[in-house]
Structure formats: structure tokens, C-alpha cells
Chain A
Amino acid sequence: EPEVTQTPSHQVTQMGQEVILRCVPISNHLYFYWYRQILGQKVEFLVSFYNNEISEKSEIFDDQFSVERPDGSNFTLKIRSTKLEDSAMYFCASSETGGFGYTFGSGTRLTVV
């Protein structure tokens, strides 16, 4: 069964450093998403991406965040200057059509120290 692949599974970074979280969505999917889950809290929407541009973003997705689809397969989330409160599990997801056939990756656990 097709999977959404995320790397790395766990990343530890120092406060103020830049991190790039990587995702390989399912190949025929057109919609891509990033979500975040702070430990013990809800899964929160960060951003959706369609047709090579951001279609929607939440208030969490401020100027320190950016997304990119640098080639036909990867979808990345960059955090420019990490803060302690960025520590969370970050999930990538993709869907064939908007809202249906959502598939989540297994997540990247980001720890900012």
C-alpha cells in the first residue's frame, strides 16, 4: 500500500538553528499538508499546498516557516530559527483529492534544546 514517507524520524536541534523536515507524498496525490502535534495536545493544521503554492495556512505558520516542493517527489517544511516551543511531532500528509484519501506519514519528532 502506498505510504507517505517522512525523514528523519527524530531530529534534535539547538534553539535558533534552521531545520528542514522532509516528506515524500504518495506519487499521484495532488494535495500536500503539514500538521503539528505538541506532546499531549491536539493535532494542529499548519499549511496546505496545491498546484505548487500554499492554498491555506494557519496562524501558527508564521514567517519562520516555509514549505517547498523542490522536485516532483519531495515536500519540505523549513523552520528558519527554531524555538523551544517548536518541539513537537510534525506530520506530513497527502491526498489525491482535497479532503479525501488522506494519508499521513509516521511523523518527525522535533526536539529543540
Chain B
Amino acid sequence: SQQGEEDPQALSIQEGENATMNCSYKTSINNLQWYRQNSGRGLVHLILIRSNEREKHSGRLRVTLDTSKKSSSLLITASRAADTASYFCATDAIDYKLSFGAGTTVTVRA
């Protein structure tokens, strides 16, 4: 299986702090995507990084990809209460279906 697995499972931080979560996967990928899910709601696409990219930024988000280690990280800088959510990595291989990890639940305390 090429499923992504996030680490840590849960993260609690103070507003204004940075949140870092990691994702590991098992097989070669075309790209890796990060999604956010507020409790009981839909999946919101955050960022996609292609297998030939090493780092990507979008607003307060920074994603890195290390294909040699089969791992990715998502950094949220200057966190806000609204960032409280579950974050999932999803890997895409040649067959275009996404394999999701179990997610990291982030709680940002005011």
C-alpha cells in the first residue's frame, strides 16, 4: 500500500505558534496533496506538490517533499484558531486514485 501516514496524530498549540506535521508513504508517487477537514465537514484542498518539487509555499503554508525518504511535511506558520481542523496527506500514483493517511488533528488554543 502506498498510503500516507501522518505524524503526530494530534497536535495542540497556542495561537501564533507554528504547527508542523509529517507524512510518510511507501511507494513512488506522482504528487502529494494536503487537505484540511473541519469536524464533520468536507475536504478542502490546501496544496499539491509534484514528485519533482522539493518545497512549495501557499500563504502561511509550507510543504516539503523528500522522495528519497518518502516523506512530506506541512508547516502552518502563525497559527490561528480557525486553523483548528484535521489535516490529511494524500498520495497519488499512476492510477490517479488518492490514498489518504489517518490525519493529524490540530487544535489551536486562543
Q: A residues engaging B (CB < 8 A)?
A: 31, 33, 35, 41-45, 48, 55-56, 58, 89, 91, 95, 98-100, 102-107, 109
Within 8 Å CB of A98, what residues of B?
A: 96
- How many B residues, CB 8 Å from partner? 24
| The 10 residue pairs across chains A and B that have the minimum distance between CB atoms | A106-B42, A98-B96, A43-B100, A104-B43, A99-B92, A99-B96, A45-B97, A107-B42, A42-B100, A42-B102
A-B pair number, CB within 8 angstroms: 56
Interface flag for B25 (CB, 8 Å): no
B45 touches A103 (CB 8 A): yes
A106 touches B33 (CB 8 A): no
Within 8 Å CB of B90, what residues of A?
A: 43
Q: B residues engaging A (CB < 8 A)?
A: 3, 30-31, 33, 35, 40-45, 48, 88, 90, 92, 95-103
B33 touches A42 (CB 8 A): no
A60 to chain B, nearest CB (A): 12
The 8 Å CB contact of B42, one of A41, A55, A104, is A104
**CB-based nearest A residue for B101:** A42
Asked whether A35 and B98 contact (CB < 8 A) given A43-B88, A99-B92, the answer is yes
Asked whether A31 and B96 contact (CB < 8 A) given A100-B31, A104-B42, A104-B45, the answer is yes
Within 8 Å CB of B101, what residues of A?
A: 42
Q: Jot down 10 A-B pairs with beta carbons below 8 A, ordered by A.
A: A31-B96, A33-B97, A33-B98, A35-B98, A45-B97, A100-B31, A100-B48, A104-B42, A107-B41, A107-B43
Within 8 Å CB of A106, what residues of B?
A: 41-42
Asked whether A99 and B103 contact (CB < 8 A) given A43-B88, A91-B42, the answer is no
Bound-complex Cα distance A89 to B90 (A): 17
User: Knowing that A35-B98, A56-B96, A102-B98 are A-B contacts, what are 17 other residue pairs whose CB atoms are under 8 Å apart, sorted by A's residue number?
Assistant: A31-B96, A42-B102, A48-B95, A55-B95, A56-B95, A89-B40, A91-B42, A99-B30, A99-B31, A99-B96, A102-B33, A104-B43, A104-B44, A104-B45, A106-B41, A107-B41, A109-B40
Bound-complex Cα distance A48 to B102 (A): 21
